[in-house]
Structure 1
Amino acid sequence: MTTSPDPGLAARPLGTPLVARTVALDPPVSSDSPATLLSLLPALDDPREVSSWVRRGEGIVGWGRALELTTTGPHRFAEAQEWWRRVVSTAVVRDEVGVPGTGPVAFGSVSYAAESPAGATLIVPEVVVGCRDGRWWLTTIGTDASVPAPAAPSPQAAPTEPEGVTFADGALSSAEWAGRVSQAVERITAGEIDKVVLARDLRVQADKAVDPRWLLQRLAERYDTTWVFAVDGLVGATPEMLVRLEKGLVTSRVLAGTIRRTGDDGHDLALAGSLARSSKDLEEHEYAVRSVADALRPHCSSMNVPESPFVLHLSNVMHLATDVAGVLGDRTTSLALAASLHPSAAVCGTPTEVADRVIAELEDMDRGRYAGPVGWMDAAGDGEWGIALRCGAYEADDPAALRLFAGCGIVAGSDPESEVAESDAKLVPMRDALTGA
C-alpha cells in the first residue's frame, strides 16, 4: 500500500476507475440453509481476505481485495467516507439486479477508540455473492486492467475444525476484571458517572491456522438471528444493528440488559419476565436508547422511539431490545450515521466522555475493532452497520491465534460476580465455534 499525505490514511492507489458488474444467479440447490451463502466462500490462506454479512441465510459474502483503505485517528470515519465517495464517483457500474448490496460494495470495520492503531478499514472484494428475498446475484469488481470473469460460484470443500484450541486470560483474569467492576460501581455510587461498559478479552491459540469459514458457518447455524460478519480478520455474530439505511429509512436496534438462558423453556420464560421488570436492566437500557435517539434525531425528519423494550430471545442469552426508526432528512450515508452513533451508551456508557475515560483507566487493553461499527455500504451510501460484539480478531500475522471479547454494562446495582457470569455467556458463541462444542 502507499501512504497518502495524511499520515493517518493508507490505501491502495485508485489508479484507473473501479469496474463493477452485477449479474443475477440461479438460487443454489441448498438455498434454504442459513449457511448456504457462507458455503460459497473459497479456502484462502489469509483470513483477512474473507468478508461476510449474513443473517438467516441472506446477505452478502465476498473474497479477495480489489481496493482497500486503512485510516486511523479521530477523523477515520470521515476519511473512510470521503475515500469511498471518490471511488464510486468514477466507478463504471453495470448492475442487472438493482437491489441494496448490488454494484460496488465496501465491507468495513472501525476501531472503538480513535487512538487505536486498528483504525478503520474498508475492503472492496474482487467477488461478492448476495441473496435477498430469494434473489441471488454475483458482483465482480476490479479495474479496467483486471476484472474477475463472471462465473457462478459453487459450494466449496467443507472447512476443517480447528485443532488443539486453548484459551488463556487476556489483559485481566476473571478475578481481576471483577475487581475493576467493583471500582466502576464505586465511581457510579459516588456520582462520577451513571453507567460504564467494561470489556474483557480472552486469548486463543490453535495448533494450526483457524479457517474463518468454519467459525462463520458454526455461528450462522447456531445464531441465525444475528448478523454473522467477517471483515479484515474480525469475525463474529452480532445481535445488535447499530444502524441500517435503505432508501431513506433509518433503523437501529438497541440491546442493553442481559440475562443468560438455562435451556428450560418454562424457566427461561420466567427469567424473561424478571428481565423485563428489572430496574437495573431497564435503567441500563434507557440510557442506551436515549443515546441512539439523540444521535439520530438531527438526521431524521421524523422518528419513532417505542416507550418500552421487548425481550429478544437468542440461543444463549436474552436481551432487552428496542427498535428505533426514522425517516432520513438529509443526505447522510449509512457510515456517517454509524459515526454519529458511535460510541453509544450500549458499548461505552453515560455520560460518554466520562465513561470513555473510565474504560481507558480500568480495562488495561486496546479494544481494537471490538465494539466498533462493522458492516457494509453500497455506492448509494445505503448499508448496514452492526456493533462488533460476540467476536474475535485474528492476531497479526498468525492465523492460528485470536483475541475474543465480551463486555457488560455496569450501573449502580451491578454485582461483580454476576457481571463475570454475563461476560462468560457472551464469550460462549465464539468459544463453542472454535471448539466444535
Structure 2
Amino acid sequence: MIRSFGIPDPGPLLDLVPDHRPVLWLRGGDGMVGWGEAARFETTGPDAFDEAARWWREWLSGHRRQGAPGPVAFGSFGFAGGRSVLIVPRVVIGRLGGVTWQTIVDDAEPAGTTARRPVPRVRWLEDGAEFERWDAAVCEVLRRLRDTSLAKVVLARGIDGVLDDVLDLRTAVGLLADRFPTCWSFAVDGLFGATPELLVRTASRAVSSLVLAGTSWDDRQLRNTGRIAAEHAYAVRSVVDALRQSGAELDPCGEPEMLRLANVTHLATKVTGRLADGVQSVSLAGRLHPTAAVCGTPTRQAFDTISEVEGIDRGRYAGPVGWMDADGDGEWCIALRCAQAEGRSVRAFAGAGIVEGATSSVEWAEVAAKFGAIRGLFADDQVLAGCR
C-alpha cells in the first residue's frame, strides 16, 4: 500500500532527512526529500529511458495507492549509455506552492534524523599536464569544425578530490540551494549538484524546457558576441526539433534572456507547448537527450567526436536527472555543476561548448568558473599537483 496525505508545513525540508543516501530535489524553498528504498531499477545502454518507463509502469501496477500525489521515482541517467538508476524512496516529503504532503510506501517508519555535518576538507588532485591535453582536444575539435559539417562540440573536464570524511549530502545540497536559489539542487544516488538547465517538465499535457547555452562573466559580451549567439541558437533548435518530433505543439519562442547566477551568466530561452496524450516525462527526456547544450551540433556527429577526443568518462554528468510521479509527469534537468560522491572520494565535472573562433584558454577559464559551484562548497579548497 502507498499512502499520500497532506501535512502541516514542517519547515526546512533538509531538516527532516536522515543522513543515509537521501534523495533531494530543491528549488527556491520548494521541492522533495526522500529516504529509504522501496524499489531500485538500474540499467545501461541506449534504451535506458524506455526501459525505465516500462519498469515504472510495471512497478506501479503491483501496488495499491491511496491519496495524492502518490509515489515518486527519482532518476539519474548516464550521458553515453552508462549506468542509469531509478529510486523509489520509502518516504517522501514534498512542498510546492505552500502545499506540503507526505508519501509512505509499505508503512515505512519515519527515520530518526541527525544534525547536518559540516563539509569536510578536500584535497583536489590536479595534473600539471591537463591543460596540454585540453588544448590538444580543443584544437582537434576546431580542426573538425573547419573540415566537416560540425558546428559545435561540448568538451568536459573532470577533477578528483580526496575528502577528510564522508560528505553529508544534506549539507552540500543545502549550501548549493542557498547559493543558487534559481537552480535545481539535487542528490540522486550520490550524484549531487545545482543545475540551471531544465531539460523538460510535464504536467498533464503542458510541457516546458529552459535552454541554456552561451556563458560569460560580462553581460555585454553575451549580447554582442556572434559566437555565443550562434551557440545558443544551436541549443534551442535541438530542443524545439526534438519536442516537435514527439508531437508537441509549441508556442513561439521569445528572445533569449540573461540568467545571472552566482558565478556566471547564461543566455536562456524558455520553450513551452502542449504534448500529445500518453507521453511520459522520462521517455521525453530520453528523446531530448543529449541536447546541443551538452553535446553539440549535429548531435550524432558531435557525440562521436566527444567519445573520440574528450578522454574522460562522464558517467551521469550531463545526463538527465529528476523525478516522475505515478501519472508519468515530472521534472528532468541536465546534471550540470555537479559531482559524484563515493565514500571519501569526490569527482566534479564541468564543460564548455566549442564553436568556430573558440580558444583553449578562454574555454578553460569558463570551465574553471563552472567548477566553482562545487569547489566553492569546500572552504579550505586545496590542490595537490601531480597526484593524478
TM-score range, shorter chain: over 0.9
> How far off is 1:127 after superposition?
0.8
What SS does structure 1 have at the residue aligned with 2:378?
helix
Q: TM-score w.r.t. structure 1 length?
A: 0.84
Q: Which amino acid aligns with 1:134?
A: G
The superposition leaves residues 98-144 of structure 1 with CA deviations (integer Å, 9 ceiling, x where unpaired) of 3xxx3111000000002x2xx210000011010011111111113xx
Q: Sequence identity, in percent? A: 44
The superposition leaves residues 9-28 of structure 1 with CA deviations (integer Å, 9 ceiling, x where unpaired) of xxxxxxxxxx2111211113
> How far off is 1:332 after superposition?
0.7
Provide the rounded CA distance (Å) in 1 between the counterparts of 2:153 and 2:371: 19
The answer on 1:247 being equivalent to 2:204 is yes
CA contact (8 A) 2:122 2:380 kept: no
Counterpart in 1 of 2:74?
107
Counterpart in 1 of 2:25?
53
Matches within 5 A, 1:24-423: 24-28=6-10, 31=11, 36-44=12-20, 49-95=21-67, 98=68, 102-114=69-81, 116=82, 119-142=83-106, 147-149=107-109, 156-169=113-126, 173-260=130-217, 271-395=218-342, 399-423=343-367
CA contact (8 A) 1:62 1:129 kept: yes
Provide the rounded CA distance (Å) in 1 between the counterparts of 2:44 and 2:128: 23
CA contact (8 A) 1:105 1:378 kept: yes
Provide the rounded CA distance (Å) in 1 between the counterparts of 2:260 and 2:196: 10
CA contact (8 A) 2:254 2:270 kept: no
Provide the rounded CA distance (Å) in 1 between the counterparts of 2:174 and 2:325: 24
Gap runs ≥5 in structure 2 = 382-388
Q: Which amino acid aligns with 2:212?
A: L
> How far off is 1:171 after superposition?
12
Q: Which amino acid aligns with 1:81?
A: A
Distance 1:167 1:185, change over 3 A: same
CA contact (8 A) 1:171 1:365 kept: no
Deviates more, 1:176-185 or 1:317-326: 176-185
> How far off is 1:214 after superposition?
1.4
Provide the rounded CA distance (Å) in 1 between the counterparts of 2:171 and 2:6: 27
> How far off is 1:190 after superposition?
2.0
Provide the rounded CA distance (Å) in 2 between the counterparts of 1:348 and 1:360: 11
Provide the rounded CA distance (Å) in 2 between the counterparts of 1:318 and 1:217: 22
Gap runs ≥5 in structure 1 = 1-18, 261-270
Q: TM-score w.r.t. structure 2 length?
A: 0.94
> How far off is 1:191 after superposition?
2.9
What SS does structure 1 have at the residue aligned with 2:231?
helix
The ranges of structure 1 where at least 4 consecutive aligned residues each deviate by more than 6 angstroms after the TM superposition are none
Question: Looking at both structures, which has the greater relative contact order when contacts are Cα pairs under 8 Å and sequence separation is at least 6?
Answer: 2
Q: Which amino acid aligns with 2:66?
A: R
> How far off is 1:162 after superposition?
3.0
> How far off is 1:89 after superposition?
2.0
Q: Which amino acid aligns with 1:316?
A: N
Q: For this pair of structures, how many residues does the alignment match?
A: 381
Provide the rounded CA distance (Å) in 2 between the counterparts of 1:93 and 1:421: 50
> How far off is 1:192 after superposition?
4.2
Provide the rounded CA distance (Å) in 2 between the counterparts of 1:247 and 1:201: 38
The superposition leaves residues 228-274 of structure 1 with CA deviations (integer Å, 9 ceiling, x where unpaired) of 011111101100000000121000000000013xxxxxxxxxx2132
